[in-house]
Structure 1
């Protein structure tokens, strides 16, 4: 698997799967979630509403992932995952790692060869960027997946630098 870092807007990625750092409602929100819903158009929201009405009446659990259409995005699908809120009093790193593993599992089920990830849980959920990058890179590299290309699409220079350090510290695959 090839891992790439890109500083930019995840909604502009031409790739099979864009991962959405969603909230459990699946109905849109702020940050990456809001941007994906806005740019992807109403088809994503319609499919998310159907998922809520059928399988996820109480919302998508933290650490899980589910796929939908990508609507008007240049990707084929959106995989929505709910990251954990950071807590200095409780280790929730396994839930964050699960977001990446579950997203890759769904991507494999869809037959995707490329996946673009944001830095899950680092926005309003306040996960420290360096720790989030370490968990993301380590989890993706250890995942049993058929996905050939992983992109971490990072909005800020700060996030890009943290993921660059995490990749360097992880060494060669």
Structure 2
């Protein structure tokens, strides 16, 4: 953390708690982060005032709608999404199935676009959802085409057991 601003890191630590939880109390945030009560209180007040957090009538906090605006902007500004969208639509029309666009982010895949098919049975996926590279057909397609050394290192690190074909 040589070049990171400690206040920003602490504020992001608070916001990252909401990746796993929909709502948190001030006490929850203090307990989960181990940060001093006064620091958490000041940061939460600032984040709420700026629209990053919303507080309900019970004093529970949730991510603010400002994140929806940021998320939409990020999605709209992704060049790969703009390029892929017409191709995805053509593919969906050809096969009448949902089409997903994912990108690799470290050892995970992130869904950045999807187009639903018209089939009644659907797989639930959400834009922004992350998945390990070994989980799901989309993510596995990235894993499959990694350079052999990189793929082998990933498999060894995640301790995946290869499934024998034909059994």
TM-score, normalised to structure 1, is: 0.26
Structure number, greater radius of gyration? 2
Higher relative contact order structure (alpha carbons within 8 Å, sequence separation ≥ 6): 1
Higher helix fraction: Structure 1 or Structure 2? Answer: 2
Compute the TM-score of the two structures, normalised by the length of structure 2.
0.27
